[in-house]
Each structure stands twice: as structure tokens, then as C-alpha cells.
Amino acid sequence: MELQKLTARRSFIFTPGLNPEMFPKAIASGADMVCIELEDGIAIKDKDKARENTISALKSTNFSNDLEIVVRVNCQRTKFGLLDLEALVSSNINLKAIMLPKVQTPDEIEFIDNLLSDCGLETELHVIMETNQALENIYDIAISSKRIAALYFGGVDMAADLRCKNNWENLLFARSKIVHAAARAGIDVLDVPYLDLNDMDGMKKEAELAKNLGFSGKGSIHPKQIGVLNEVFTPSKQEIENARKVINQFNESDSGLVVIDGKLIEKPVLREMQRKLAIADRIT
């Protein structure tokens, strides 16, 4: 099974699975990914209805091919998580991706990988790292399945687990470790949403810090945040032109390195160049 993991993932937004009538607003937000929510944003009494509504909407809604739809199920170690997974794999929907919250060990990923394979599905996995145990196992988790397309940093739960205030300085080590694990696996990595809607400058600053650290994108809690996030994580015209030049030079070369503008460039940079072109393709 070959999965297409390389795409534009500058921003994502959640929309409640309980209310499919809200899907169009999320779809029109400009986010690269729309995550249909079955977990934290849904009350326990509404879990079954949210699952039912989501599956019905996925069957009846025509989504744009350049929009990535992801369903965040409940924790796979809970009753509701298992019910979510069973319903999705039995729905006859060729689901693009499932987001897994509160993952702690690679065994959890391997179990779901085997389940999806048994059902003949090519569904990708987006994995949230939001506990200290996940942080301890993160490198093994990141390479536990070829289905994993992206890691996400769950900063709110991580701060609670670490008993620290949720700010950039306190969670820098956790963020760095997640970025390193994603780089090792060759997958994208997305930062936690910024929670203060009245502090757009603060959100932009944190997004820039995340980008400089190595994050591919960042989440949002409201459509008004999307434009700024997309701007921060979109490469400049010069970066895009350079990416094209690097890829063209490698295509013409028979070695694992080239010299461009006097600088030695080795093959490992290709994936980042290709990611920049994927973003360029989306905005043109």
C-alpha cells in the first residue's frame, strides 16, 4: 500500500460531528484540513448521535479533492473509540484519514493499522501526542505504521499531564521532541491551536516560532485564524523558486548531492522542497 502523505498541511480546523450543518463553514474557512470531531468537543450523551451524523454526512457530501478531511475518533482505549473505529471501517466509506487522540504506545497504532488492512482500506493515520507517556515512546510511535501521515502536538493535555502552565517556554522540550520524531519518520507535524481569539498578534508570533522549530502547520479554533496561519506557513516566492531549482537539479543529477549557487545540497532536503511545491500547487 502506497500512501500520498506529501500535501499542504498549513492549517486545520475542527467541526463537530454532531452538527453536519456546520461542515460547510469549516470547508469554506480556507483551512488545508477539516477535522470532524467525535472526541473532546462532543458530550458523552451525544457520542452515538455524532458518530451516526458524521457517517451519514460523509456518505452524502461531495468534498473538494484538494481538501483533506480527517475524522478525530475517541481514544482507542475506550468504548466510544472502539465503536467509532468499528462504525467507520464498516461504513463502506473510503475515508482519507483518521485522527487518533491520546496515543501512548506503538501497539495501539499497529492494532489499528492491522484493522484497516483487514478491511482493505488505505486510510491514513494522524496521531496526537498529548501525554508524557506518548512523549517517552514518541520515536517508536512515529515509525510504527506507514499509514501515519502526520503527528500533532496536543499542548493542553500535555501541560496538564506535566503539571505545568500551557505556554511556549514550558512546552518547548515536548514540541522539539515531536518535531524530531516527525523528521525521523519523514512525516508532517502540526502544532496545537492558539486559544486566545482576541490575541491575533500572539497567535502569529507563536505560529512563527512553531514554523522556525520545524512544524508544518498549526491548528485553529476559529475561521478568522486561518488566513494568518496559512500566511505564516506558506513559503515565499523565492523559497518556492529555490525549491523548484533544487528538485530540477537533483532530477538531472546521478548523484546524491548537487551544488546550487555555490552551496552543497544533499538529497535529504528533497522532501522539504517537495512539501513547499505542494503548498505552491495549492495556492495557485
Query: pLDDT for 53-66, tens place per residue?
Result: 999 999 988 777 77
Total domain count for the chain? Answer: 2
pLDDT of residue 174: 97
Domain identity same for 24 and 102: yes
State which of 233, 249, 275 marks the end of a domain.
233
pLDDT of 248 higher than 50: yes
Give me the mean pLDDT over the 217-237 stretch.
95
As to burial, measured by CB atoms within 10 angstroms (0-12 exposed, 13-18 middle, 19+ buried), residue 31 is buried
What is the residue type of 56? S
Q: Are residues 226 and 252 in the same domain?
A: no
Grid cell locating 40:
473532546
pLDDT at 267 over 70: no
* Residues 225 and 252 occupy one common structural domain: no
Q: Answer yes or no: is 257 within a domain.
A: yes
**Residue among 100, 77, 173 nearest 132 (CA):** 173
Tell whether 97 and 183 lie within a shared domain. yes
Does residue 3 belong to any structural domain of this protein?
A: no
Judgement on whether residues 191 and 257 belong to the same structural domain of the protein = no
The answer on 253 and 188 residing in a single domain is no
Question: Are 170 and 82 in the same domain?
Answer: yes
Name the domain boundary from 192, 210, 233: 233
Residue 139 confidence (pLDDT): 97
What mean pLDDT comes out for the span 230-250?
Answer: 88
| Residues of the domain holding 249 | 237-283
Shared domain for 36 and 104, answered yes or no, is yes
Residues 194 and 241 in one domain: no
The rounded percent of the chain whose pLDDT value lies above 70 is: 96
Lowest mean pLDDT of 7-21, 33-47, 124-138, 236-250, name the range. 236-250
In a domain? residue 251: yes
Q: Quick one: 256 and 140 in the same domain?
A: no
3-state helix, strand, coil in the chain (%, to 5): 50, 15, 35
Mean pLDDT along residues 93-118 = 95
Distances (CA, A) of 38 to 9, 46, 65: 21, 9, 23
Residue 3: what pLDDT?
A: 40
